[in-house]
Structure 1
C-alpha cells in the first residue's frame, strides 16, 4: 500500500526535476510512512511513498525492470493484488525471473508480458503507473470497482498524476479551482466517473486504463458490470454467494503485518468478522467498533437508525470469538478542530457528513495503533440492495438518483445546501445537473433480455449505486485510512462476487421480505439470529445535544467574521434566523445539522486550499 505521484513531459528533460515530484509525493506522506523514493528519466519522473504490507524487506518502489542495462519499464503502484502468487507462477513459466517476493514485481512483470492488457489479469484493489521509456508511453490503471484512487491532470506537454489531489496541487502547474460544474458535482453528492470536482483534474475511471503518449491520452475500459439473466435456483444462489464471499475474505487476509476487522454489529461487517475468524489460521482475530460516550443509554430512533450498534457488535464478537475493542468517542473528540482539519485535508474536499468522517477517522487512527490492515463491510448494501433508496418506491421511481432525490426532500437544492445563497444555488443548478447526470448514467445500463420492467428498474438502481454512489464511500475510506497509515480492504468488492450478485434478480434479493435475503441465508449458522434479522443501520452519528452547541457556536463565529471566505456564499439572513433561536443545532434528523456542517466545511476548505470558485 503506497502513495504514488508522477510527472510526464514530452518536451522537457525531467532528470533534474526529482525535487518537484518529491514534493508531490511528500504531500501524501501519511500514505507511506515506511519509505520514499524517486526515479527520473528524460521525460518522466515517478515517486512513491510506501506502507509495507507484503514482502516487507523487498518490493521497493519505484521498481525498475532492466535488461542488459536498458530500462524496460518503471512502476509505481498502490494496492494489493490477491492472486499475485498464482500470477507469479504463470509468469515464471513464461520465462520471467523475480528478485522479490511481493506483488509489486508481479504487476511490473505482468505489464512486460501483456502491456496495457495487464490489468485484466490482476485480482484485487490497485492503482498504478508504468512508464515505458522504450516507447515514451505511460500507462495508468485502476481496479475494477475503483477501490484505490488515481487522479491526473493533463498538461500542454504531458500529464501529472497522483494518489490524491493534494499531490497535484504540490506542482506549480495545477491550482485549486472549481467551476460551476465542479460545484454542482460537489453539492449533488454524485460520483460521476472520471470527475474530480476540481477544474482540470480528472480521475482514472474504475475498470479503465489510460495510455499517455506524445499523441495524447487514450482511455480504454477493461471491465464493466455484467448484464445477463440469472439462471441459478435459490439454493444454488445462496451456496454460490457464501462460497464467493468466503473466498474473497480468505484472499483479503494475506498480509505480513497485523490485520483486523471493523465490526459495527450490522449484517455486512459481522459477516466479514465471522468468515475472517474461520480462516484466521488458528489466531484469534481482532475486531474494532466505533461508539459514542453515553450513546446506547440515550439512543433515540430516527429515520436512519433503529437501534444502537454497540450491543450487536459485542454479541457478534462473543459469538465468533474475536478479541473485540470498542473505540468510544466523546463529543469533545468529534468537535476537536485538529481532528476536523485532518479529516477534511485527508479527502481534499468538503462533505455534508463531516461528523461521520471525523468519527471514522478517529476509529481508524485508534485501529492503527494495533493493526496495519483492516477489513470492512463496505459495498454489501450496494450489491444486495440494503439501502432505503432501493426499497422506497417514491425514490426508486423518481427519475433521478434515489439518494439525490432523498436530499431534495431535505432541501430544494440537495442535502447540506439549506444555508447557501439562493443566487449561487440557482446558478449552480444542482437539480438540473443531477438530472443530466442521471440520464447519462441510465444510458450506460445495458438491457437484459426477458426482464420485466420492475426487475429492470431495480437492476438499474443497483447499477447506479455501484457506479455513482459507492465510489464516494470507497474514496472516503481510502483517504481517511491512508491518512493514518492504515490499509482498508473491502472483500465485498471482489469482482467475482460483484459480477454474480449484480445479476441476482430483485425478487430473490428480497425473497424473505427483507433486504439482502441471499446474504442473510448464506450466513445462517455463522451469526446470531438477532444480527441476521437486524434491519440496515447506517454508520452511527452522535445524538449528543452538546455537539449541537458546538455547531451553533462555530456557525456564529463564521457569520460574525467579515473575512470568512464562505460568508459571500451563505444565505446570511437564514443563518442569522437560525442563530436567533438561541438553541443548539438539532443533532437528530438530516436537515439543519447537515446545512450547518456544510457551511462550516466549505469555510474550512476555502481557507486551507485557497480555492478559486468560478461558478
Structure 2
C-alpha cells in the first residue's frame, strides 16, 4: 500500500520542477512512511511513498524498465501476482524482485493497458511510457484504492489523494456550487472530486493521457447475467470463493490482523482467517473498537439493538484469536486534534462524526501492532444487509434508498444549510438528477420480474455509489496512520457472482445476508449467526455531545467563517438544548459545523456559489 503522485506536461521541462514534484509526493508521506522517491524526465514526473508489505527490500518505487523508457508508480496489492509472474516467465520475462509491483510493470510490457484485466486486487497505478509519450492511470474494479487527476492546459496532475494534486500551483483550492452540492447531498457522483477542475478515476477504468488529449476506457463493470445455481450450490460457491479470497489476502511479509465488530461480516472473515492460519500453527490477531461504559450502559435504538462487546468476545473465544479491545472515552473522541486529523485524512468535511474519529483512533492503535488488517467492509452492499434493503418505504422511494432511510433517522435534518446556500444549491434537484442517471445505468436481465428488477437496481446503486463512500473513508482513515486495510468482500469474483443471484436467494431464510450466513455458519458461534444486523458502533455517552456543543459555541463566539454555510437558527436552537439531552439532529449539526471549521482551517478553500 502506498501513495502515488505525478505531473505530465508536454510543453514544460519538468526537470526544472523538482521542488514542486517533491512537494506533491510529500503530501503522501502518511500513506507511505517507509520510503519515498521521485522519477523526473523532461515531460513526466512520478512520485511515490511506500508502505512496505511484500518483498520489503525489493519493491522500491518509482520502478522502471532497465532501459528507463517505462516508469511506474503503484499503490495497492495484486493478490494473484505469483500466478501472473509464472505466466510472464513462460512468456520470456525475467524478474529481479519478489514484489507484485514488478509483476504489474511486466504485465504492462506484455499486455499494455489490458494488464488491468489480468489483476485480482485493489490497486491504483500510473505508467509513463516514453516510447509513446503516453500516461496510463488505472484503478481497480471496485474503487478500493483512490486516484484523482486534474487536467491542465498541456497535460495532467494526479495523486492518490486530492492533497497531492492541490500541492501543485496549477491546481486552485476552489469548491464551486457543484462541489458543494456533492458535499452536502450525501451521494457519490461518478468522477466527481469536489474540488473544481479535479476528477476521480472511475473504478474499473483506464485513463489515457497523451499529446492528443485525455481518454477513458472502462475495462470492467457489473453485468446482468442469469443465475442457474440452486440454493445449495450457491451457498457452497460463496464459501469456496471466500476461502480462496481470505487465503490470498492474508499473504504479507509484515504482521497482519483482522478488524472484528461481532457482526456477521467481520466475524466471518475472522473465523476464516483463523482457520487458514491455524493450519500452519499461527494464531489470528483481532481488534475491536469500544467505548467507555458502552456495554454496561447500552440502550437499544432503531439502528442498534445490541452492543458489540459480547459478540466480539464470543467470536474471539470461538476462533481462538489473540484479541484486543481499543476502548475510547468521550474526551478523546471529541479532541479537536483528532477531528482535524480525520478531516485532513479525507480532504473533505463530509465525515460521519464520531464514527470517523473512532475509526481513526482504532487504526492508530492497531498500527502499533500490525501493518495489514482484513476488514468486513462492503458485505452489506454485496449481500444486501442494510435495514433499508428490507424496508418497503425505502425500497419504493424514488431516490437513493439510504437517503430515504437516513432522513427518517435524522428527523429530516441531514443538511443544516443556511437558507441562501440551500436555495442556491437546490440539493433536492441535484439528488433527483443523480438518481435518474444512476438508474439509467443499471444492467437489465431479460425476463426479470418487477420486484427482482427493483432489488437489482437497489443492489447496483449500493455497489456503484454507496460502497464507494465507505471504501474511501476506510482507505483514508487507515492510510492516515500507515495501515493497509484489505476488503475481501470486494473481490470482483464474489461481487459478480452475488450481484446476479436473485433477491429471493439472497434472503432465502427470511433474513438479511442469507448466502453469507449459511456459507460461514459452521465456523461461527451461534450468537453471531443469529444476531440482527448492527452498524458500526457510535458512542451513546451524552458527555460526547456536550463537549461538541461547547466547541461549537466557541466557534459561534469567534465568528468562524465556516459557519456562514450553515443555518444560524438551527445552530442556536441546537446550542440552547440541555447538554445532557442533545438530540440526534443537534448532534449532527455540531459534527457538520466542527468538520467545516477544521476543513476551512486546513485548506482555506475559495467557495464559489
Instruction: State the alpha-carbon separation in 1 of the partners of residues 196 and 402 from structure 2.
Output: 25
- Partner SS state of residue 46, structure 1: strand
**Would you say the 8 A contact 2:290–2:325 is kept in 1?**
yes
- Partner SS state of residue 218, structure 1: strand
1:487 aligns with 2:481: no
Instruction: State the alpha-carbon separation in 1 of the partners of residues 408 and 303 from structure 2.
Output: 14
- 1:144 CA drift (Å): 0.3
1:580 corresponds, among 576, 580, 586, to 576
Instruction: State the alpha-carbon separation in 2 of the partners of residues 94 and 194 from structure 1.
Output: 36
1:353 aligns with 2:371: no
> 1:15-30 maps to which residues of 2 (within 5 A)?
15-30=15-30
Q: TM-score normalised to the size of structure 1?
A: 0.97
Structure 1 range deviating more: 252-261 or 26-35? 26-35
Instruction: State the alpha-carbon separation in 2 of the partners of residues 156 and 386 from structure 1.
Output: 46
2:423 corresponds, among 405, 422, 426, to 426
> 1:98-113 maps to which residues of 2 (within 5 A)?
98-113=95-110
- 1:408 CA drift (Å): 3.5
Q: TM-score normalised to the size of structure 2?
A: 0.98
> Residue 35 of structure 2 corresponds to which residue in structure 1?
35
Shift in alpha-carbon separation, 1:415–1:484, aligned structure 2, 3 A = farther
Structure 1 range deviating more: 166-175 or 74-83? 166-175
1:11 aligns with 2:3: no
> 1:80-91 maps to which residues of 2 (within 5 A)?
80-91=77-88
1:613 aligns with 2:607: yes
- 1:584 CA drift (Å): 4.2
Instruction: State the alpha-carbon separation in 1 of the partners of residues 409 and 601 from structure 2.
Output: 27
- Partner SS state of residue 71, structure 1: coil
- 1:503 CA drift (Å): 0.6
> Residue 594 of structure 1 corresponds to which residue in structure 2?
588
> 1:310-389 maps to which residues of 2 (within 5 A)?
310-389=309-388
Instruction: State the alpha-carbon separation in 1 of the partners of residues 369 and 135 from structure 2.
Output: 38
- 1:231 CA drift (Å): 1.0
1:436 aligns with 2:433: yes
> Residue 394 of structure 2 corresponds to which residue in structure 1?
395
1:64 aligns with 2:61: no
Instruction: State the alpha-carbon separation in 2 of the partners of residues 608 and 585 from structure 1.
Output: 32
> Residue 232 of structure 2 corresponds to which residue in structure 1?
235
Instruction: State the alpha-carbon separation in 1 of the partners of residues 244 and 377 from structure 2.
Output: 17
- 1:421 CA drift (Å): 0.4
**Would you say the 8 A contact 1:445–1:463 is kept in 2?**
yes
Please list the CA deviations of residues 505-551 of structure 1 after superposition, one character each: whole Å capped at 9, or x if unmatched.
11111111110011111112110111011111000010101011111
Instruction: State the alpha-carbon separation in 1 of the partners of residues 515 and 402 from structure 2.
Output: 24
- 1:449 CA drift (Å): 1.3
Instruction: State the alpha-carbon separation in 1 of the partners of residues 413 and 80 from structure 2.
Output: 41
In structure 1, the gaps of 5 or more residues are none
Aligned length: 607
**Would you say the 8 A contact 2:148–2:201 is kept in 1?**
yes
Instruction: State the alpha-carbon separation in 2 of the partners of residues 526 and 491 from structure 1.
Output: 17
1:549 aligns with 2:543: no
> 1:115-194 maps to which residues of 2 (within 5 A)?
115-194=112-191
Instruction: State the alpha-carbon separation in 2 of the partners of residues 289 and 540 from structure 1.
Output: 10
**Would you say the 8 A contact 2:222–2:443 is kept in 1?**
no
1:449 aligns with 2:446: yes
Shift in alpha-carbon separation, 1:612–1:302, aligned structure 2, 3 A = same
In structure 2, the gaps of 5 or more residues are none
**Would you say the 8 A contact 1:258–1:371 is kept in 2?**
yes
> Residue 407 of structure 2 corresponds to which residue in structure 1?
408
Shift >4 Å, 4+ stretches: none
Please list the CA deviations of residues 234-293 of structure 1 after superposition, one character each: whole Å capped at 9, or x if unmatched.
000000011111111111000000000000000000000000011113200100000000
1:250 corresponds, among 247, 251, 255, to 247
**Would you say the 8 A contact 1:128–1:142 is kept in 2?**
yes
